[in-house]
Amino acid sequence: MPKYKAIEPIRIENRQWPDQQITSSPRWCAVDLRDGNQALPNPLTLDQKKEYYQLLLDIGFKEIEVGFPSASKDDYDFCRWLIDEKQIPEDVMISVLAPSRPDLIRKTMEALKDYPQALVHIYVATSDLHREHVLGKTREETVKIVRESIAAIKECAAAQPETRFYLEFSPEEFTDTDLDFAIDICDDVVEQWGTEEGETVILNLPATVERRPPTHYADMIEVFMKKLKTKQAVISLHAHNDMGCAVASTEMALQAGAHRVEGTLFGHGERSGNVDMVTLILNLQYMGIDTGMNFSNLVEINEVVSRLTQMRPHARHPYVGDLVFSAFSGSHQDAIHKCLVRKDEMMEHFGQWKIPYLHVDPADVGRNFEKFIRINSQSGKGGIAHMIELEHQIKLPREFQVVLAKKVQAYAEEVSREITSDELTDVFKANFLGADTPIELIKYWPYPDEKKPSEIHGKVELKFNGEEKTLEADEDGPIAAFVAACRQLDLPEFELVNYEEDSLGKGAKAEAVAFVTVKNKQTQSVSYGIGTHSNIDQAAVKAVVAALNNVLAYG
Q: Where does the pLDDT of residue 412 fall: very low under 50, low under 70, confident under 90, or very high at 90 and above?
A: confident
pLDDT at residue 70 tops 90: yes
C-alpha–C-alpha distance, residues 207 and 274, integer Å: 9
Q: Are 66 and 33 in contact (CB under 8 A)?
A: yes
Q: Are 229 and 203 in contact (CB under 8 A)?
A: no
Amino acid letter at 5? K
- Non-local (6+) Cβ contacts of 280 within 8 A are 247, 250, 251, 261, 263
What is the pLDDT at residue 553? Answer: 80
What is the pLDDT at residue 20? Answer: 97
Helix (H), strand (E), coil (C) string for 365-419 = HCCCHHHCECECCCCCHHHHHHHHHHHHCCCCCHHHHHHHHHHHHHHHHHHCCCE
The helix/strand/coil state of 425 is: helix
Query: Domains of the chain by range and CATH?
Result: 26-309 (3.20.20.70), 330-420 (no CATH), 439-554 (3.30.160.270)
Cα→Cα distances 440→79, 445, 508, 530, 542, Å: 73, 15, 29, 15, 10
% residues pLDDT > 70 (the chain): 98
User: What is the arithmetic mean of pLDDT over 303-319?
Assistant: 96
What is the pLDDT at residue 499? Answer: 93
508: DSSP letter = T
pLDDT at residue 373 tops 70: no
Q: Are 118 and 163 in contact (CB under 8 A)?
A: yes
- Of 507, 503, 521, 456, nearest to 482 (Cα)? 456
C-alpha–C-alpha distance, residues 119 and 123, integer Å: 13
Q: What are the pLDDT digits (tens) for 148-168?
A: 999 999 999 999 999 999 999
- Non-local (6+) Cβ contacts of 190 within 8 A are 201, 203, 230, 232, 233
What is the pLDDT at residue 371? Answer: 57
Q: What angle do CA 110, 36, 177 make, to 5 degrees?
A: 85
Cα→Cα distances 541→426, 447, 456, 463, 512, Å: 21, 14, 14, 14, 12
CA-atom Rg of the chain in angstroms: 34
Q: What are the pLDDT digits (tens) for 481-512?
A: 999 999 999 999 999 999 999 988 666 677 89
User: What is the arithmetic mean of pLDDT over 536-555?
Assistant: 89
- Non-local (6+) Cβ contacts of 416 within 8 A are none
What is the pLDDT at residue 370? Answer: 47
Please tell me which residue, 416 or 216, carries the higher pLDDT value. Answer: 216
Q: Where does the pLDDT of residue 228 fall: very low under 50, low under 70, confident under 90, or very high at 90 and above?
A: very high
pLDDT at residue 141 tops 90: yes
Phi first, then psi: give them for residue 460, nearest 5 degrees: -120, 130
Q: What's the order of all strands across the beta sheet hosting 511-520?
A: 494-504, 511-520, 526-533
Please tell me which residue, 186 or 551, carries the higher pLDDT value. Answer: 186
C-alpha–C-alpha distance, residues 24 and 87, integer Å: 29
Instruction: Tell me the pLDDT of the chain averaged across its residues.
Output: 92
Indicate the range of 53-57, 195-199, 284-288 predicted with least confidence.
195-199
Q: What is the pTM of this model?
A: 0.78
Helix axes 73-84, 46-59, angle to 10 degrees: 50
C-alpha–C-alpha distance, residues 152 and 244, integer Å: 38
pLDDT at residue 328 tops 80: no
C-alpha–C-alpha distance, residues 167 and 194, integer Å: 10
- Of 280, 251, 253, nearest to 264 (Cα)? 280
C-alpha–C-alpha distance, residues 555 and 549, integer Å: 10
